[in-house]
Amino acid sequence: MASCDYGSDDDEAVPIREIPQLSIADKDIAIDSVELLIIAFGKTPAAALKVRVLDDKTKDWNVYGKVTTSPAPRDSIAATQSQVFCSTHQKAVICLCDTTFPLSDAAPWNALLFKQFNPKTVLIMNEQGKVEFNGANPMETKPIIRRLSSHIESQSDSVAAVQTLEAPNVVGGPAAAALSKCQLYQIPALMLIVYRDASVDMAAVQAFDPAFEFAASNCSVTAKPTAEVAEELKAFIKNAWNNNRGDSLIYL
């Protein structure tokens, strides 16, 4: 079985000055708990969610705020920012983090999200380079998708069809820390990892289809078919790949 390099989940071990601060966009929004927390790490999950779910035309999601580290870590150009969005029915939250941040920030960053939204179920969408995958066929051209889960009693056919991440592959960083927290507090969680080529492409975005089926079954989060938003995805992917400025937002 594959392993996760969780890092430390000891919130108390992190100095107070390094704990991320949540900037609330709408102070009138108060949330005690959500049915589903979706955390996306990387440009591919961000592209999939922003174009297929966070559609401005539907008015189903509102910008909730940003998770930022204050002050900025010494080894970062700028403070880590995570965009956070909340569904209009306030049952689901999406947090997008399309930039990397220091592993030392992973535990307090996750602690802040889990404390703020107290999720009943968590979906983690993660990406890694295909060169990091141990066991891939060198001639394989399609993205590789694998899963890890915690306390999931039942799952859809498309999720069940995704192969469990096999040894000696390891998932690390903030994504692993989030899954570790779910295991520790017995929160049902699913992590889907897409191993892609050097550039973000349509095939990598489409590989996350099982994630959207999981979200729909757990909290009625709907996603547009890839074919319906193909041109929007192409434009977004091109812009995201050329723009290396990191942002993480929270949507409700």
CATH code for the domain in which residue 133 is found: 3.40.50.10900
Contacts of 206 (CB under 8 A, 6+ apart): 226
- pLDDT value, residue 31: 77
Q: Is the pLDDT of residue 137 over 50?
A: yes
pLDDT in tens, 21-60: 545 444 456 678 899 999 999 888 888 888 888 866 657 8
Residue 70 pLDDT: 55
Domain that holds residue 65: 3-251
Q: Which two tokens stand for residue 154?
A: 């039942």
What is the residue whose two structure tokens read 């694998």?
146
3 pLDDT above the threshold of 60: no
pLDDT-based confidence at residue 225 (cuts at 50, 70, 90): confident
As given in the structure block, the two tokens for residue 159 are 């999720």
Pairing of strands 144-150, 34-41: unpaired
235 versus 182: which is more confidently predicted? 182
- The most distant pair of C-alpha atoms in the chain lies apart, rounded to whole Å, by 53
pLDDT of residue 232 exceeding 80: no
The structure's pTM equals: 0.81
What is the share, in percent, of the chain residues with pLDDT greater than 90? Answer: 21
Residue 243, classed as helix, strand or coil, is coil
223 in Cβ contact with 52 (< 8 Å): yes
Sequence-distant (6+) residues with CB within 8 A of 199 are 241
pLDDT tops 80 at residue 134: yes
If you average pLDDT over residues 143-160, what whole number do you get?
86
pLDDT in tens, 87-97: 877 789 998 88
- Count of the separate structural domains present in the chain: 1
Q: What confidence category does residue 81 fall into, taking pLDDT thresholds of 50, 70 and 90?
A: low
